[in-house]
Chains A and B, each alone.
Chain A
Amino acid sequence: MIFSSFEFIFIFLPLTFCLYFYLNKKRLTTVATGSLAFASLFFYSWWNIIYLPLILFSVIINYAFSLLITKTTPYKKTLLIIGLLFNVLLLGYFKYSDFFLQNINFVLDTNYSLLRLTLPLAVSFFTFQQIAFLVDSFKGYVVKHTFLNYIVFVTFFPQLIAGPIVHHKEMMPQFTKKRNKLINYKNIYLGVFIFSIGLFKKTVIADTFSIWASNGFDVLEQLSLIEAWITSLSYTFQLYFDFSGYTDMAIGAALLFNIKLPLNFNSPYKATNIRDFWQRWHITLSRFLRDYVYIPIGGNKKGNFKMYCNLLTTFLIGGLWHGAGWTFIFWGALHALAIIFHRIWCNTGVNLNKIIAWFVTFNFINISWIFFRAEQWEDAIKVLKGMFGFSGVVLPSIFQNISFLQENDIVIGEVFANFNSDTEITLWLLIALFICLFFKNSNQIVSFYKPDNKIVFFIVSIFTISLMNLDKNVDFIYFNF
């Protein structure tokens, strides 16, 4: 079940909401929390019930380890290491075993058969969340919690599938706070508002771009200059609106239950340098990597060279966390190099013009996303070759009188022939860029506007339009057959 589905919006969410507050109203608070845990596990199982035991197993083992770590003084460190190993091995087995075997086969020329396991939903998210919990238990930062609260903390359905990666310090107290057990109309209003914005971002904007992105990445065998830029920009916008839309829906759905999830996106494409970008993009992941990887391995305390190595390690882990493939590792490495370059640049004291700085940053991000999206190296190279004109340049007919162009093998013809539309794509790209650069983000919008009839109209409009696009079926083009 995904947030942008009729089942979730019209059945699951209202039923869970009503049951939770009904039980709380009857002062059955433990049962109410239990209903939230049950609903979350049901939500998880909807996708594939086979992996329900896996998440339960992971939750039970981690909770047991955290109890042991907080209680047992002499073997704390050993227990922590075992607990961490358990999480890493669990994630490694399900997510990275085939990647590992493929590389072994390639390097040693062996023929080990791949496991071809289906990746359990949200395994990266709930593993990271619990690693943080174990580490904090070791450091003595964890206050004692019941198992029920712990299971809700890990599986709370709004954040279970795609984050934000929540921290026990910000979540656990909210689940126990008595005022949060009562219906709060302000939170419901804000929740519906944010959820609607997220739904609109996902179903109307991101899903539109996904058609062009997948056409360029997965379908077309060669991309001319403009087609390649359309492809990469479409994915850049698709990813942002999809992911931030999903986060908005998570924040909105959680608010209905009086739970405030942390901010995860803060207008990342407004960033004027790569460090600024990482302070705005997937903020909870950056926070996790900083607190549980970068700082523990030394951070910036042991000189520049060590700091650069630590940055590289952190970003490589970040890349690998996103997916088991060399393209993800390369993407991580690119960002690490960019961050290192930015640090060196800052030391020179030279300041770039703000517009140039934004332009360089945005284009770097746009190009690096190609490796993030490409299923194979060949796809990434295909798009990159196209973007830099190595697969031919086709320009629109307004350039036909410039003889210099044709003398240099530049074709004048249908620029958008492979995308089945022209003005539509251009318009969408411009609108998306405009929204990213000049609009307030959803967090700012809800805190800025006070409820009035205009806002009600706005919410109803975007919600209705989004619902109409929930089950969008693209009219398939006749693929030139």
Chain B
Amino acid sequence: MYKKHILKIFYSFLLTLFLFSVMNYLIDPYGYQSRDDKFVKNLTMFNKPNVANARIHSDGYYYLIGSSRMARVNPIVIENITGKKTHNIKIDGATLSENRLLASKVKEQGNFFIYSFDVFSSNKSREKYSEINTRYKTYLKELESSIFFNKYFNSDITIRSIQHAIKSLRGENLNKQHLEQNSRYSDFRFNLSLNSSGVLNNLDKSNFSNFESYSSEEVVKLAKLGTKDDIFIILPKYESFYYLFSKYQDIENKYFSAISTLVNNTQAQVWSYYGLNNITQKENNFIDNGWHFKPQVSNIIFQEVFEPRVQIENERIGVLITKENLNDYLSFVSQDIGNIVIKDN
């Protein structure tokens, strides 16, 4: 009697394992095999070490690395422009150490990154927060495990697959989250950004509390990872933030110094949307009080990066920073920021 039941357990389990794995493989909600017909939320929004690891070990050419700004970049946009398979492995609120860890793993696989070199990711003091520390260790542990017993057999992917199937049956738009963000009304309030960003050092834990640069050795380590097909990009924020960085805690100078180290030590392209330009000057390009650009802006940015065009007069677009134009560019941007007039509402 017991032998019969043991066999039943064994075969039922094998069948269950097979059915769930096949379902998850076929639906592939996180787009490990293909980003087509996938919900943008699953492609961009989650910070999961196991998903990042599975993506790094899949067929990607480009990997999007960065903080929450990268959540606004649909990898399909890059795939459509470049024809190269792209995965998004961003971490919300990432530090430079976390991003560098991801970049090094991407390079270990012989692939390339598009790396968002953000101001607030360059604030080393955030690494002192225990939650950031714990997250780094979790990512490190996960990214160092290379065996995927459960790539298609875990509760998370199963739930996502079921959600994907239900949403598809209901006819939900694949781009729902990004469309919703694109349609959001921009209502920038300067005082809010001044008081909540931490530039005033008025908060215990925030993006810019106790702004402290990474050492140049640490930035060089990152820069050296870049080859000529890799891209570092400084993604845009609403212009008023650049005003804050120039006024408080010497953030602008500290950040510009990191940019200089990066540019002087890397073979990768470094694109900048810092300062005043066609994107950063339009309030309607941003949500979350100017902190995040709208997803539709990413199309413009990456079109410019991958298909550079001749700049027409009075047009301010992204700039490819090279060793040659570095100093001129930074001093121009710095002067330009001095002209920002704050309209406080």
Contacts and interface: CB of A to CB of B under 8 A. Distances in A.
Contacts of B155: 465, 468-469, 472
B207 to A, nearest CB: 5
Nearest to B51: A473
Contacts of A463: 9, 13
Q: What secondary structure prevails in chain B residues at the interface with A? A: helix
B135 interface: yes
Interface stretch (B42-50, B229-237, B333-341): B42-50
Interface stretch (B125-133, B178-186, B306-314): B125-133
Interface stretch (B79-87, B146-154, B246-254, B272-280): B146-154
A214 B135 CA distance: 13
B68 interface: yes
A475 B47 contact: yes
Interface residue tally of chain B, by bracket?
35 or more
Contacts of A6: 149-150
Interface string A448-481: 0001110111011001110111111101101111
Interface in B198-246: 204-207
A457 B51 CA distance: 30
A308 to B, nearest CB: 41
A221 B158 CA distance: 35
Contacts of A473: 48-51, 138, 142, 156
B12 A460 contact: yes
The SS class assigned to the A binding surface is helix
B187 interface: no
Contact of B153 (A467, A475, A476): A467
Contacts, number: 97
Interface stretch (A181-189, A227-235, A244-252, A316-324): A181-189
Contact of B8 (A188, A453, A475): A453
A291 interface: no
A80 B159 CA distance: 59
B291 to A, nearest CB: 10
A276 interface: no
A467 B126 CA distance: 35
B3 interface: yes
Contacts of A476: 47, 91-92, 135, 138
B134 A218 contact: yes
B139 to A, nearest CB: 9
Contact of A460 (B9, B130, B206): B9
**Looking at A185, A218, A452, which has the most chain B CB atoms within 10 Å of its CB?**
A185
Given A192-B6, A460-B9, A478-B47, 7 more contacts: A456-B9, A460-B16, A468-B158, A475-B48, A476-B92, A479-B205, A480-B206
Interface of A: 6, 10, 185-186, 188-189, 192, 214, 218-219, 221, 451-453, 455-457, 459-460, 463-465, 467-473, 475-476, 478-481
4 shortest A-B CB distances, which residue pairs? A185-B2, A468-B155, A6-B149, A478-B92
